[in-house]
Amino acid sequence: MRPLEGIKVLDLSRLAPGPYGTMILADLGADVLEIEPLDWSLPSFLGVEGKSDLLAYHPFERNKRSMCLNLKAEQGRNIFYKLVKNAEVVVEGFRPGVVKRLGVDYETLKGFNPSIIYCSLSGYGQDGSYNMLPGHDLQYLAMGGMLSLIGERGGRPVIPNNFLGDYAGGGLQAAIAILAALVAKDRTGKGQYLDVAMMDGVVLLLAMEASIYFMTGTVPERGDSARMGSAPYYNVYETKDGKYITIGCIEPHFWENLCRALERDDFIPYQHDEGKKKAEIFTALREIFRTRTRDEWFAFLSQKDVCVAPVNTVEEALANPQIIHRGMIDEVNHPQAGVIKQVVTPPKLFGTQDEVIKLHSRPGEHTFDILTELGYHEHDIEELRQAGIVN
């Protein structure tokens, strides 16, 4: 038994953030039903073209059911309202105002199910002067202050894929909010409306930097703090083979272990030096780390009680024995594409979690089953299909 079994989630979201959040809920056992448009198109893997069975590899589509439903038609909305009566959660990721125009907003759905939990996931929130401003991950990082801190001192801001805004600031925060609301509902019997903004999630990731700014009045900038590459003891160094090794010896005893391992005990008293000694240590460490390969350094320093890790490629990380040991990759047989590997949701819930991955559903694959569960007969379903209400 998985912890969220029996929880029904209706997912109206598109693109990455919402489906990422509902993927987490589905992995934890929730019955997630994706409500797709009739003109559904394949979710995009940026940079991947011409791959057959592409949907089979799409992680955000797994462990879910799919129904194609025309919400712009009254008959389609009526079907959705019937689904809402037996659901616990609705998730949407449209621009503010869209669900109201469609007639599937919180106030409307609350009339059919007063205890519904309704999560709206948007870029800047449902209110405020920016609520209608379009954007993507990059804009939320920029507006929230995160982008100004990513990159080297004096260099351009570096775009960190869409990990921080879409996933950490958006989908993950939505999943957390929904889980919290489910706990509250279990205690009070009441549902609630959840307004999750990706910009807000980005700002939360800046909690430490913001507190330092509030305390000192000093504006953090790229490369200015030890956590952003200004210190020799917490940095990335190029190795003999052109690869990179990371050192994170913040605690004094780790710094001492590193210095002794490198036979530079004379550096131990100068861990936090901000003068000429700092530049000398940086220069020396850069020269030292170029004398061995990345893997040679890791093999050596990992035995010296030093905070060290190689900068792995994605390929190397996914083959890493610790990641394999932790069960972070699962394999599933697909009838057309063969063995499909995917990264799983990480928490290990001993006692309730039974990790199972069911690969993607075809768009509308479960439409007939869902309508049958709602009491529609086969001829009724065919009439709805002919009328362009379902697919």
Are residues 10 and 64 in contact, defined by beta-carbon separation less than 8 angstroms?
no
Task: Give the whole-angstrom CA distance, residue 354 versus residue 2.
Answer: 6
Given the residues 136, 195, 273, 295, the one annotated as active site: 136
Check if 366 is active-site: no
Task: Give the whole-angstrom CA distance, residue 306 versus residue 299.
Answer: 11
Are residues 164 and 202 in contact, defined by beta-carbon separation less than 8 angstroms?
yes
Are residues 254 and 306 in contact, defined by beta-carbon separation less than 8 angstroms?
yes
- Give the tokens for residue 144: 């929230």
From the CB of residue 288, how many other CB atoms can be counted at a distance below 10 Å? Answer: 14
Task: Give the whole-angstrom CA distance, residue 309 versus residue 315.
Answer: 16
First to last CA, the chain: 32
Amino acid at 25: L
Are residues 92 and 66 in contact, defined by beta-carbon separation less than 8 angstroms?
no
Are residues 83 and 376 in contact, defined by beta-carbon separation less than 8 angstroms?
no
Given the residues 105, 137, 166, 200, the one annotated as active site: 166
Check if 136 is active-site: yes
Task: Give the whole-angstrom CA distance, residue 125 versus residue 25.
Answer: 22
State the greatest distance between any 2 C-alpha atoms of the chain, in Å, as a whole number. Answer: 85
Task: Give the whole-angstrom CA distance, residue 306 versus residue 256.
Answer: 9
Are residues 116 and 190 in contact, defined by beta-carbon separation less than 8 angstroms?
no
314 CB-contact burial (10 Å; exposed 0-12 / middle 13-18 / buried 19+)? exposed
Task: Give the whole-angstrom CA distance, residue 65 versus residue 350.
Answer: 26
Place of tokens 């063969």: 338
Are residues 317 and 309 in contact, defined by beta-carbon separation less than 8 angstroms?
no
Residues noted as catalytic: 136, 166
